[in-house]
Amino acid sequence: MAYTLTSIVLGVVVFGLTRIIWGSISWNLRYRRFHSSDGCQQLRSAPSKDPILGLDHFFRLGKAAHNSRYLEAFQEWFQAVGSTFGVNLMGDYVIFTNEPKNVQAVLVTKFKDFEIGQRRRDNSAELLGIGVFNADGQTWEHGRALVRPNFTRKQVADLGLFEKHVQRLFEALPKDGTAVDIQEWTLDTGTDVLFSESSDVLLPSATEVARKFAWAFNRGIDGIAQRIRLGRFARFYYDPQYTAACKFVHDYVDEIVAKAVYRAKEWHAEKKDKPVPPDDAEEERYTFLNALAREGVEPKQIRDQILNILVAARDTSACLMSAAVFELARRPEYQVQLRREIAEKLSGRQPTFEDLKDLTFLNHFVKETLRMYPPVPLNARVAKNDTVLPRGGGSDGMAPIFVPRGQLVVYQVYSMHRREDLWGSDAHIFRPQRWETTRPTFEYLPFNAGPRICPGQQFALVETSYVLVRLLQEYSNIEARGNSAPWREHLTLTCSVGQGVWVS
């Protein structure tokens, strides 16, 4: 039987309309069930000149991202529409929220109803493969269990690793007052902790390969962020530099993995010959890389997992460190106060792990840095099942809302940390003294929460605190170079200082 072009087109149209109609009926039936049992009300939507595709919103956010105002644009949106609303972005209907109760539901109380989702894996797999950053289910659980010992109190409290790299930082800071971007330093510590082998990017003798790895790693992260922002159109993203960066990162890390696999074979052979170590044997520092190799994990999977955790650990530390030094260099009055506290507590000696906990104003300074500049200012989850969020419905936004299976929910920590109704009229001002009395709950979320809370948060806090103390001990004044302009975002998977942190 022959089919005419007309009949084929008509069939496609009928099929498409049938899917749309059935999808609408199905959604309404599910909505009614939740409406009757949970009191759900209609979610507010951002007003749009193009209700079909939301092109005005898509281009508005694109322009904001280009001008390093993406977070600021959302801040304005939340103030205009409310703490939870929906937006149509090129056919993707996305729920945005900066409401603590909704964030708590997504991350903790309704954790089982949400997942990272396939789209993040698709957008990041070319560089990262599949690992703890983008995996769900057993893959995530296994990687999480293996990485956790890397950040135990015993591991983090060993400050010798930080001191080694602090000395390299001091060497890199030119004596003639020439500025250096301190953000590069954190890649060296991150690779040392996870690989037992530092990239040594900051050393004056750094190889061209090490410098190119730093460039390629950063370029790869930028590419993932671009894909995420493109939403369903990410499949059309192509950048030859991104592809080249991914290949270079893989080649660089594959060499490190090969060494770890070889060491693991030697370790197993030695363990077979000497199953019980002597009493005086020095305890080996745990590293995620060695643990994976000794488990017999395939080299490709090892690469994927360590790149996933390097993104989380290195970028979190880099963002916190750069923001803290950015504020410190611009605020001499806080340098004076911190130096006074450090001198009184330490009397010129290097701090211990316990010392860092006792430096009250330093801890307040770091907390305020995390409030103003959370390393991950926005994040997202996808609903695994039909579910409900407690806020966002009705004219006042206080009623629950229905969240259908497959719905993308983006929670905005940056904006939540700057809400005046939660933090007071000075929410936009950097003021560490607020922490003398502030005891926040879910309105303060610098490291996520729930089962997927950042495993490296203590590492980031201790590293930043230690480096700030040592900088203030070593230098009588820390000056900002080129940092007189207001803070500007550099938003990828995390958010760092857009203009760099050039200090001398």
Convert the pLDDT of each residue in 80-101 to its tens digit. 999 999 999 888 899 999 999 9
Mean pLDDT over 144-171 rounds to 83
Rounded-to-integer distance, Cα 190 and Cα 150, Å = 11
Q: Characterise 437 by phi-psi region: left (phi > 0), alpha (psi -120 to 50), beta (else).
A: alpha
Q: What are phi and psi of 120, to 5 degrees?
A: -65, -40
- Tens digit of each residue's pLDDT (9 = 90 or more) over 403-437: 999 999 999 999 999 999 999 999 999 999 999 99
Share of the chain above pLDDT 70, in %: 82
Mean pLDDT over 203-214 rounds to 74
Better-predicted residue by pLDDT, 200 or 383: 383
Rounded-to-integer distance, Cα 53 and Cα 92, Å = 8
Rounded-to-integer distance, Cα 47 and Cα 429, Å = 30
CA-based diameter of the chain, in Å? Answer: 93
Count of the separate structural domains present in the chain: 1
Rounded-to-integer distance, Cα 504 and Cα 179, Å = 5
| Residue 280 maps to a domain | no
Is the Cα torsion angle 314, 150, 412, 62 positive or negative in sign? positive
Write the CB contacts of 416 (distance below 8 Å, at least 6 apart in sequence).
Answer: 98, 99, 100, 103, 422, 443, 445
| Residue 97 maps to a domain | yes
Q: Among 142-151, 358-367, 464-473, 491-500, whose mean pLDDT is lowest?
A: 491-500
Q: Among 141-150, 154-163, 475-484, whose mean pLDDT is lowest?
A: 475-484
Decide if pLDDT at 175 tops 80: no
| Residue 22 maps to a domain | no
Decide if pLDDT at 305 tops 50: yes
Mean pLDDT for the chain overall: 86
Give the CATH number for residue 72: 3.30.43.20
| Residue 235 maps to a domain | no
| Residue 257 maps to a domain | no
* Contact (Cβ atoms closer than 8 angstroms) between residue 177 and residue 504: yes
Segment holding 495, helix H or strand E:
strand 495-497
- Is 454 assigned to a binding site? yes
Q: Among 78-87, 112-121, 164-173, 422-431, whose mean pLDDT is lowest?
A: 164-173
Please state whether the predicted TM-score (pTM) of the whole model is above 0.85: yes
**Residue 185 has what pLDDT?**
62
Cα atoms in the 13 Å half-sphere on the side-chain side of 265: 5
- Tens digit of each residue's pLDDT (9 = 90 or more) over 325-350: 889 988 999 999 999 999 999 999 99
Which structural domain range is residue 79 located in?
30-119+375-416
Which three-class secondary structure state does DSSP give residue 478? coil
Neighbours of 257 (CB within 10 A): 22
Mean pLDDT over 251-276 rounds to 86
**Residue 280 has what pLDDT?**
47
| Residue 254 maps to a domain | no
Q: What CA dihedral angle connects 371, 372, 375 and 376, to 10 degrees?
A: 80
| Residue 132 maps to a domain | no
| Residue 92 maps to a domain | yes
**Residue 54 has what pLDDT?**
87
Token pair of 374, please?
């959370």
Confidence of residue 496 (pLDDT cuts 50, 70, 90): confident
Decide if pLDDT at 442 tops 70: yes
Token pair of 504, please?
């001398």
Token pair of 287, please?
């590293």
